[in-house]
Structure 1
């Protein structure tokens, strides 16, 4: 049996308008389920991995439908807990041309917002798991949710699991008074592998890096500067053995260049640069990165370059798939690499 991966976070209901209408236009919304850690779980299930998703949902038809949506996609949902009265939501206005995307969160008072330590039986859930995946979002919603996140990390450490962490800094969250940088650094110090985009790396470490301004696939990376930067990061957070950084340049709303760097065991690896000229939906690209890395741990155990290339290809193809979930198969991702 392959490694069992447990992901933990808030499952959300996403609302947006059709045909690139603004939130202030039209009278109909379309809805999809999503949320960073759920996105990772769905990607892993689509790739055939053994993955369980943990969250708290309202005990009503909306919560049960959300759970069923994940279950139908192959995610183990049988230990999701229920309580509260509402699911967290967010409203997305997609980018178009020169207009940037816009996100409005509505998560206060959700079932996950009201989560408290002791509600989730972490010891039972994690006793047969190998990896726990969390993100900065799991600790950003409320103090109780943050406490429950660190409770999960404590049990995972006690049981000897690897911990996977996505920085996932969202400045529009963090309303309950905690210091986001201090909290996320505390989480980062507990992780064995992590992902973040270039902007998040700069934010959490308060250090600038060489800009990624590629408009084509032949852009030259300043690898010596990046290598020094990652070496210093590892010195500050020595437990983390794999650092995956996604890098994106938005040339236009439908034209992105995308690449990634992986620092592991003192070696810095560079992926190819993808020139994506028909972006459909970039939401969840970072989650596709993280899922690609987690899947590759077993798929390519002795090939770090292939781990990086696989994670990047998974992220690249997500740009072509509407919704939060990356539904690309293993064969499709490998075909993109070739």
Structure 2
């Protein structure tokens, strides 16, 4: 099955290593975007993927497109217009110092898109799966309308539609997010979220959990998924479960709700290299499992393992092959040198 992602594609600028912004004499450059990250991860797992966005016609955009192509992502559907790519700056945290992100993505080419920029019937032709996140409508202007049209057309054409709620408080307020995302929900087949997403966007809180105190309750997450199914008719819901011990060490796992039953992955203690993109690799792993017809338990184990591996890699792209993910699913978690 061919998978198409739609969303923003931006430049990430980071101080080297763990330097703070005011220490940096230069920045490391990376190209990224939630849906693009999913496409890259799936491409490394052997799935045929394509990515659609709107970019300016300049050398920075062409360099980013070249990076996507290098990882095996089809970029022929990208449309051109506007004057700039969005940028975000990331200061990586360590131990008790949290990571910090500063956005500079207003008036980017994709944020200033209009509905006429995308011929969705033509774009979606030949694909079986369409993926989007809540970051894309959060860019404002006509983007919420464009996202509704894209998801509605995908559903009409028979594609499976997946959506990662991906709430970003630096982009919009919960009221705005809820209003926009509820218009997309009728077209969604597979929903991904974490506890904050479900609460801030859909108004559904995971009972018994408090991520700030490191308390996670499995029953509360399962009930959250049941409520999403009851209110929105979405029968496949995946929720990531992160317990942040510090900016350097996280306890990681996930839940898949399908067919009225909740399935929980094993948990991983991750010493983080770069957690940005961890949720996108989780989405890619979930899509991979569902596309390949894995049973629900195998699907959520695969998705959690894929995300675990990504968080040990620099930058936003997950570069794991399916065989590497399956090795971790099978219990090979020692990290011993392979000779």
Match of 1:280 in 2: 273
Q: Deviations over 1:91-112 (max 9, x none)?
A: 0011112111111111111111
How do 1:120-159 residues align onto structure 2 when only pairs under 5 Å count? 120-159=118-157
Match of 2:229 in 1: 234
Match of 2:250 in 1: 256
User: How high is the TM-score relative to the length of structure 1?
Assistant: 0.92
CA contact 1:140–1:173 (8 Å) conserved in 2: yes
CA contact 1:47–1:330 (8 Å) conserved in 2: yes
User: How high is the TM-score relative to the length of structure 2?
Assistant: 0.92
The structural deviation recorded for 1:178 is 7.6
CA spacing shift, 1:213–1:156, aligned 2, 3 Å: closer
Q: Deviations over 1:11-40 (max 9, x none)?
A: 010001012111122321111011100000
Match of 1:94 in 2: 92
1:113 aligns with 2:111: yes
CA contact 2:124–2:154 (8 Å) conserved in 1: yes
The structural deviation recorded for 1:302 is 4.8
CA spacing shift, 1:11–1:107, aligned 2, 3 Å: same
Match of 1:201 in 2: 198
Corresponding residue pairs, total: 329
Mapped partners of 1:186, 1:199: distance in 2? 19
Task: Give unmatched runs, 5+ long, in structure 2.
Answer: 331-339
The structural deviation recorded for 1:303 is 0.9
The secondary structure found in structure 1 opposite 2:22 is: coil
CA spacing shift, 1:188–1:20, aligned 2, 3 Å: same
Match of 1:33 in 2: 31
The structural deviation recorded for 1:188 is 2.5
Q: Deviations over 1:226-278 (max 9, x none)?
A: 4333222211011x1210000111112211100101100101111111111x2
1:291 aligns with 2:284: yes
Of residues 19, 22, 41, the one that matches 2:20 is 22
Mapped partners of 1:232, 1:19: distance in 2? 42
CA contact 1:212–1:248 (8 Å) conserved in 2: no
Match of 2:60 in 1: 62
The structural deviation recorded for 1:186 is 2.2
Mapped partners of 1:293, 1:82: distance in 2? 31
Match of 2:180 in 1: 183
Match of 1:83 in 2: 81
CA spacing shift, 1:332–1:242, aligned 2, 3 Å: same
Match of 2:322 in 1: 330
The secondary structure found in structure 2 opposite 1:137 is: coil
The secondary structure found in structure 2 opposite 1:252 is: coil
